[in-house]
Homo-oligomer: A and B are copies of this chain.
Amino acid sequence: MEQKKTSKRLRCIVKLGGAAITCKNKLETIDEENLKEVSSQIRQAFVPESTSANVIGMDWSKRSGQSEVPTFINDLCDQPVADSESFIVVHGAGSFGHFQASKSGVHKGGLSRPLVKAGFVATRISVTSLNLEIVRSLAREGIPSIGMSPFSCGWSTCQRNMTEADISMVIKAIDAGFIPVLHGDAVLDTLQECTILSGDMIIRHLAAELKPEFVVFLTDVLGVYDRPPVEPGAVLIREIAVREDGSWSVVKPKLEDTSKPVEFTVAAHDTTGGMVTKITEAAMIAKLGIDVYITKAGTDHSVKALSGFLKGGIPDDWLGTAIRYMS
């Protein structure tokens, strides 16, 4: 009886990187301006007939500094609703959750320790606060967003690998016309009692099950570099080809020192930015024939990535990293 696919094809999974929507060094602080811009770009990409003028705001809650509810609700009754394409948003934690999780070591497990148990609760409070604010921001743009916590969805891991992750509720939400908004979360683990399930692991699972047309990672830098982007001479990697066995190589630009394996060059970056992990995760998605675009949130490049425009080919003036399957 279990339905395994959405009734219309999933257009996209969008990852909102924590660094793109929160202020990195300020505990639990949203980068309001970026989040608003990202939400607006997402609306333009997936609700093609919408304009900022005909948006049906779906966050009717009080906003801080305002005591009254919106007055536009009475005008809603007869307004036609712009059809949205199907997509899913998954976000990271940024300055939400990381402090609580790292302070308590939730990812290492051990719920019988008071610090871990308290940290598990504290982490979930922090990441669900962020989730609520992202859902509200998307809703204000007229996107029918629905927050769904992996923990509540019943997702769990075994030794930090996803085991139980029933996506039937995600599918039902999409088929009812909603946009699920998931997030990295503290979850139960059958072997070590608890751990952290990252947004990237969630995306890989959803991509494998639902086969979206493409996946977009929005971050705070233009894409993947051959070394930390703050270092002089760092080169943006524009295109990575993934082979059937999951191995990958840089196609563009031609790196000067070809004797030096790219994997090594990028690995040097891993200690600071986890870029090899990021590419490896992306390569696993690309291996399925799903294009992955990594680019900077709130730019012309993210507009192009979200619109699906890049499926036809990567123009020279697009700045970002495209990771694609090459047979």
A124 beta carbon closer than 8 Å to chain B: yes
- How many Å from the CB of A190 to the closest CB on chain B? 10
Q: Which residue of B lies closest to A82 (CB)?
A: B114
Q: Is the CB of B27 within 8 A of A62?
A: yes
Q: Does A277 contact B (CB under 8 A)?
A: no
CB distance from A175 to the nearest CB of B (A): 9
Q: Does A302 contact B (CB under 8 A)?
A: no
CA distance A129 to B128 in the complex (A): 10
Residues 112 to 144 of chain A near chain B (Cβ within 8 Å): 112, 114-115, 117-122, 124-126, 128-129, 132, 135-136, 139, 144
- A27-B69, A60-B126 known; 16 new pairs, CB 8 Å cut-off, are A28-B61, A56-B118, A59-B122, A60-B99, A79-B114, A80-B114, A121-B144, A125-B136, A147-B149, A147-B152, A149-B152, A152-B153, A153-B169, A154-B154, A172-B188, A176-B194
Interface residues of A (CB under 8 A from B): 27-28, 56-62, 67, 69, 73, 76-77, 79-81, 99-100, 103-104, 111-112, 114-115, 117-122, 124-126, 128-129, 132, 135-136, 139, 144-149, 151-154, 156, 166, 168-169, 172-173, 176-178, 188, 193-194
